Amino acid sequence: MFTGFTPETVDFLWGIRLNNNREWFTANKKQYTTTLYEPMKALGAHLFQPFIERPGNLLKVSRIYRDARMHPPEPYKESLWICIRQDVEWWAENPCLYFEINPEGVDYGFFIWKPRTATMEEFRRHIQSQPKEFLDLIASVEADVGQKIEADCYKRPKPCENPDLERFFYWKGQIGCTRHEDFSETTFGPELADRVLEYFEKLIPLYDYFNRFKV
């Protein structure tokens, strides 16, 4: 059961940012396990509840260890994340619901980091052929969460016959709807789990929609 993070969690995250070496981590490994990694696993289990009966979805909780071949000077990450996604080979190309904690606070929501060009081409063809379904979905999700879905955009839009879809024909990648919270009493309490889960549930229709496009 997730009981919350603590000020010691934040102390550890700042500590690893300022002391990213094996000696410091070894001396503080117990603090990492008890105040960061174990709470993240418990939070992940809570957030995955709506997906237990949904085939093809999986839960990933990151570890702090970096790939030494890619990051030799800094062996440890300064953030940890939870990711709910479909069981695919390369996560960056596919939709996910995520939660991340770092020294500045927590971030969570829906994100597609780097979709394939062919996937976005299929997406544009689909929304042009069935615009109402997509526009109704976007309007509903944005109203529910009280914010816009954002994306990294092309400098020039792709040709679009429907003016209502022009905004979405700019989309290139890094498509997301996320929230940031600074550390506070509510971040340290167990109510964080229900708050993130409520936000995830509002984003599930968006997550399901984008999981249609597998090119």
Domain of residue 160, CATH code: 3.30.930
- Whether 215 is covered by a domain: the verdict is no
Alpha-carbon Rg of the chain, whole angstroms? 19
The angle formed by the CA atoms of residues 18, 70 and 112, to the nearest 5 degrees, is: 90
- Whether 1 is covered by a domain: the verdict is no
Beta bridge partner(s), residue 82: 61, 99
Copy the structure tokens of residue 7: 């000020």
The pTM (predicted TM-score) of the whole model is 0.92
Element (H or E) spanning 177, and its range?
A: strand 171-181
- Whether 195 is covered by a domain: the verdict is yes
- Whether 102 is covered by a domain: the verdict is yes
Distances (CA, A) of 107 to 140, 156, 162, 183: 22, 30, 34, 11
Q: Is the dihedral of CA 160, 166, 168, 169 positive or negative?
A: positive
Q: Which of 58, 62, 60 is nearest to 79 (CA)?
A: 62
Distances (CA, A) of 25 to 33, 39, 118, 213: 11, 18, 43, 41
- Residue 145, domain extent: 7-210
Is 196 in a helix, a strand, or coil? helix
Domain count, the chain: 1
- Whether 120 is covered by a domain: the verdict is yes
- Whether 2 is covered by a domain: the verdict is no
Q: pLDDT 10s digit of each residue in the chain, 215 long?
A: 999 999 999 999 999 999 999 999 999 999 999 999 999 999 999 999 999 988 889 999 999 998 766 656 789 999 999 999 988 776 678 899 999 999 999 999 999 998 888 999 999 999 999 999 999 999 999 999 999 999 999 888 788 889 999 999 999 989 999 999 999 888 898 999 999 999 999 999 999 999 988 64
